[in-house]
Amino acid sequence: MPVLAALLVSLGSPRPLFAAEGGELPRIVNFAILATVLVLVLRKPLADFLNAKTTQVREELRHARSRETNAEVERRRAEELLASLDQEVQKARDDARRAAQSEKERILKNAEHEAARLRAIAKKEIETEVEAGRRRLFAQATELSVDLAHKKIASAMTDADRDRLVDRSVDILGRRR
């Protein structure tokens, strides 16, 4: 809404919205082109990277579960083999629990870090899309104001004005020969 209000105010002012010299339009167009190229070029590599990271985290989680399962199997085997040695069994249990807890904490820490990183990437992508939408809206508003100016000029121009412009153009073309 503020952009629309600024556009309407600028249409009522006597100075043009974009001057031929020092205007912002070329910079906006260049930025839009650059942003579009970057989005097109970086979209697939970024998606591939995120998919690879997701696969890697899943694989690590699978390995951790496998290691936890293996630790549990070792604990059971130790209970069967060392049933008479309560202290050894207790030590094996403690070691297995600590290893599983340590692995669980490491995986959770990695998953939290990855989730935070993915949230940051998603936030940046959303901000980029919002900015691109603003630029498109600005470009459309600019185009509409130019069309409105053309219509105002066309409706205000008289036959005498048209004749004078045609004569002037013919004089200019005649001098160039």
Amino acid residing at 6: A
Residue 123 inside a domain? The answer is: yes
Please indicate, yes or no, if residue 72 is contained in any of the structural domains: yes
Classify residue 149: in a domain, yes or no: no
Instruction: Report how far residue 151's alpha carbon sits from residue 121's, in angstroms, rounded to the nearest whole number.
Output: 45
What pLDDT, in 10s, does the model give residues 62-81? 998 899 899 888 888 877 87
**What per-residue confidence (pLDDT) applies to 81?**
75
Query: What are phi and psi for residue 110, nearest 5 degrees?
Result: -65, -40
Compute the average pLDDT of residues 50-60.
92
As a whole number of Å, the CA-based R_g of the chain is 35
Answering whether pTM is above 0.75, one says no
User: Residue 131, Cβ neighbours under 10 Å: how many?
Assistant: 13
pLDDT at 96 over 70: yes
Domain count, the chain: 1
In a domain, 3, yes or no: no
Domain annotation covers residue 163: no
- Residue for token pair 């952009």: 3
Q: What is the C-alpha to C-alpha distance for residues 98 and 106, in angstroms, rounded to an integer? A: 12
Q: What percent of the chain has pLDDT over 70?
A: 85
**Residue 74 · residue 96 · CB < 8 Å:** yes
Average pLDDT over every residue of 142-165: 87
Cα–Cα distance, 136 to 158 (Å, whole number): 35
Asked if 99 contacts 65 with a C-beta cutoff of 8 angstroms, the reply is no
**92 CB-contact burial (10 Å; exposed 0-12 / middle 13-18 / buried 19+):** buried
| Residue 61 belongs to some domain of the structure | yes
Please indicate, yes or no, if residue 137 is contained in any of the structural domains. yes
Q: What is the pLDDT of residues 5-43, one digit of tens each?
A: 343 344 344 444 444 456 899 999 999 999 999 988 989
- Domain membership flag for residue 1: no
pLDDT on residue 90 = 82
Tokens for 108, please give them.
């959770």
Enclosing domain of residue 37: 27-141
